[in-house]
Amino acid sequence: MIAVPIESYAIVMRLNFVWHYRGRIVTRGNLGSDELLDCHEGMLVGQSKETSRGGDSVSFKVPIPLLSGGSRWDAMALFDSGAFWLDGPADDPTAMVSFDLSCFWGFLFCLMPVAIGAVVGLNDPEQGAIIAIMGFGWLYGVNQILARIRIP
């Protein structure tokens, strides 16, 4: 087993914004807390996510998202874990639903062009760097943009 210094772990955790998508949604006060969480839980279950519910939150975790049996076209297909929770009473028009979604496996998948670029870069470093940057930017960037558009 390799011992990782706690400082290295802290640096990685500061960089987790790369594979996390966080935000808030206004509830508009037209549903109660349970109904609102039922809606989010139903969406997750409908997209083949295993959910757990506790208090005013719904969370999910999938070992490897694209192999979990759900459709790749689902809005939440890229995310392997996450949570939705209520900030305030749901019937308040200013109440918010906060979320924290993680797409770590998608991030790792998108690192493949970087590896290909590194192999190509053994012979031509400039071309390898271009392949790595363009490949990662395209795969990960477009996936993030689409996820931000499609998240309810």
pLDDT tens-digit readout, 59-92: 998 877 666 666 666 767 778 889 998 887 756 7
CA dihedral 7, 13, 18, 20 (to 10 degrees): 180
CATH code of the domain made up of 6-108: 3.30.310
Residue in the block written with tokens 């997209």: 47
Supply angle C-alpha 44, 52, 150, rounded to 5: 20
Strand locations in 1-152 (E): 20-26, 50-54, 57-61, 81-87, 96-102
Q: What stretches in the chain show pLDDT beneath 70? A: 1-18, 28-29, 65-73, 75, 90-91, 93-94, 150-152
All structural domains of the chain with their residue ranges: 6-108, 111-152
Model confidence, pTM: 0.67
Secondary element (H or E) of residue 37: helix 33-46
Amino acid in position 56: D
